[in-house]
Amino acid sequence: MRKSLVSRMAVVLAALGTALSAGAAEQVNIYSYRQPFLIEPVLDEFTRETGIETQVVYASSGLNERLEREGRNSPADIVLTSNTSSLMDLVGKGLTQPVESAVLERNVPAQFRDANGNWFGLTTRARLIYASRERVKPGEITSYEELTDPKWKGRICTRSGKHPYTLSLIASMIAHHGEAETKQWLQGLKDNLARKPQGNDRAQVKAISEGECDLSLGNSYYFGNMITNTEQPEQIEWAESVNLVFPNQGDRGTHMFISGAALTRYAPHRDNAIKLLEFLSGEDAQYLYAEKNFEFPVRPGTQRSELIRQHMGAFKEDKLSITEIATHVPTASRLVDEVQFDF
């Protein structure tokens, strides 16, 4: 059954690749890790404004590897990612090319783009502390560092230490505090866990709602996805059971992630692809793109969605460069193993 499914997927992807290759000159071909509902409205607007058609292959994984296999014959112009690790992998494998664009440099803050122009952030997310409304008083926890306080013993839930979201936060702690102190922090966090790391960010909020723990770590956009989920109203209840804590507002600010995009090394429609990147960084596209997944626009001064303004408001962001954070990810992964965080 598994081999049959893989075979069918290979056929579908091959057909999509043929369709991309056969397109007209005025087009942009996209490999996207981001879901259709997030980007199709923005791509439709791009086509209306420019006349440039977009062709998209969607997948939850494997697009970097596919691009690597295709080499010079790849039809892809742009890769859209949902996290930093995919962007770093693309650059590490030599699958991108630099872009020089005054528009992108103006619209995307330096900490959210590659210094050499190999990738650009398009939206940002905050790594929050979700706190029980019933069992955690407002102001009782205000920083990532306080997660190791003994008063939280048996009261914290989180996903795997090996997940890119967790590794990124640990890497940022290394950048701010050094390896030795971060290892102590990670051990302290583990000592305070209510259960073995498991599930996704929503599962942690569910556990708070059910009384299994009182605090969790989670990305900001999950709150929006839960509080508006009328198809699964139990998730609305989960969201209503927590307060959102933006950590470290008194010092460096809250840890941030990005979704982003990169121009492929052999992009057959390079000029059109750069036009799309610039469009995605513009004010109107930024609002629409970020609003669809309750994320924050990367472009400074862009209005945020009504739900974001209602539940999150203004907050101080950690200005640490995404590139610098990425350099500490291998060390972060090693520390997760050393403290046996997931066991």
Q: What is the pLDDT of residues 19-44, one digit of tens each?
A: 454 445 699 999 999 999 989 999 99
54 phi and psi angles, rounded to 5 deg: -120, 140
The pLDDT of residue 276? 98
The pLDDT of residue 11? 39
Q: How many CA atoms lie within 13 A of 238 on its CB side?
A: 26
Q: How confident is the model at residue 196 (pLDDT cuts 50, 70, 90)?
A: very high
Cα gap 185→195, rounded to integer Å: 18
DSSP-assigned letter for residue 199: S
Q: Each residue of 90-117: pLDDT tens digit?
A: 999 999 999 999 999 999 999 999 999 9
Strand extents, DSSP E, the chain: 27-32, 53-58, 78-81, 120-132, 156-157, 215-219, 242-245, 256-263, 296-297
Cα gap 87→53, rounded to integer Å: 24
Q: Each residue of 45-64: pLDDT tens digit?
A: 999 999 999 999 999 999 99
Q: Residues 305, 254, 196, CA angle at the centre, nearest 5°? A: 105
What percent of the chain shows pLDDT beyond 70? 93
The pLDDT of residue 307? 85
154 phi and psi angles, rounded to 5 deg: 75, 15
The residue with tokens 């793109």 is 289
Mean pLDDT value across residues 190-206: 98
Nearest Cα to Cα of residue 228 among 113, 126, 307, 309:
307
CA–CA distances in Å: residue 131 to residues 35, 138, 156, 162: 29, 9, 9, 23
pTM score, two decimals? 0.89
Mean pLDDT value across residues 235-246: 98
Burial class (CB in 10 A: 0-12, 13-18, 19+), 73: exposed
Cα gap 163→341, rounded to integer Å: 12
The pLDDT of residue 2? 38
Better-predicted residue by pLDDT, 7 or 171: 171
Nearest Cα to Cα of residue 16 among 69, 62, 97, 76:
76
